[in-house]
Amino acid sequence: MKTRKNKLLYAAKKAFPHTIPVLTGFMVLGIAYGILMETKGYGPIWSVLMSAIAFCGSMQYVAITLLTVAFDPLQALLLSIMVNARHLFYGISMLDKYKGMGKFRFFFIFWLCDETFSVCYSAEPPEDVEPKYFYFAISAMDYMYWVLGTLIGSVMGGLITFNTKGMDFALTALFVVLFYEQIRKKENRISGVIGVLAAVAALCVFGTNLVIPSMILILAALLAGRKRICS
C-alpha cells in the first residue's frame, strides 16, 4: 500500500508535464521581479518573503512602486482588491473540482493563481492518481516555480551589474500580449473595446490615478451589457 508521501511523489510525476508552460513563464517573470526588487534595495530575503507570502504576481509588480513612495494603506488595499478580484471567480469555478479535498483545500485557496487555475481547471488526473494529490502537486509546483524564480532573480541582481531600465515593463508587455491574443477572437472584441475606452476615459478624468476608476467603469459596463456580450 502506498503511503501519503509516495502518493504525492507519484502524483507530482504525473502532474509535472502539465506545469511545464507555467515553469517557463514563472521563471522568466519571477527572475525579472527578483531583479527589480534588488534594484529598489530589497534583498533576497525580502523578495522571497514577498513572493512566498503575497504570491500575487501582478500585484507584486505594482507593490514595487508602492514600497518606494509615500505609503497610502487605503490605496494599497483598494488596488489589491481590484487587481486580484478575479480570484473570486476562479474560486467559484473550482468549487466542484475541489469538493471533498479535506485539509488540502487551504493550500488550494492560498496557491490559486491565473496559471494554476488554468491548468487545474482543464487537466484531469490519471485514473491511478487521487485527484487531491494531483491538484495539490500542480498547485505546489507552480508556487515553487514563482518563489524559486524570485530567488534566482534577486541573487542575480545582487551579483551582476547591468542596466535594468525598462525591465519593469515586463508585466505590462505580458498583459499586452494576452490582450492581443484575446481580441483575436471575435467574441472577445466587445469586452476589449470596453476596457480600452474605460481606461482612456479614466485617464482623461483622473490622470495617473486611473487604475481603480477604470476597473470600476469596466465592471459597470460589463454588468450593464452582460446579456449582449454573452449572446
Cα–Cα distance for residue pair 111/7, rounded to 1 Å: 20
- Is residue 229 pLDDT above 60, yes or no? no
Which of 95-104's residues contact partners 24+ apart within 8 Å by CB, and which partners? 97/121, 97/131, 97/135, 98/135, 100/132, 101/131, 101/132, 101/135, 102/132, 104/132, 104/135, 104/136
Work out whether the CA dihedral 64, 68, 73, 75 comes out positive or negative.
negative
Q: Work out the pLDDT band at 49, boundaries 50, 70, 90.
A: very high
Q: Which three cell numbers stand for residue 147?
A: 518563489
Long-range CB contact pairs, 191-195, < 8 A, 24+: 191/222, 191/229, 194/218, 194/221, 194/222, 194/225
Confidence category of residue 155, pLDDT binned at 50, 70, 90: very high
What's the pLDDT at 168? 62
- pLDDT tier at 1, thresholds 50, 70, 90: low
Distance of CA 63 to the CA centre of its chain: 14
Residue 140: pLDDT band by 50, 70, 90 thresholds?
A: very high
- Could you give the CA distance from residue 194 to residue 126 in angstroms, rounded to a whole number? 41
Chain centroid to Cα 163, Å, comes to 26
Residue 191: per-residue pLDDT: 76
pTM: 0.74
Q: Which residue has the higher pLDDT, 31 or 161?
A: 31
pLDDT of res. 142: 94
DSSP state of 54: I
**What pLDDT band is residue 48 in, cutting at 50, 70 and 90?**
very high
Which whole number is the average pLDDT over 169-179?
67
Q: What sign does the CA torsion over 154, 168, 55, 178 have?
A: negative
Q: Are 186 and 64 a contacting pair, CB within 8 Å?
A: no
- At 156, the amino acid letter reads M
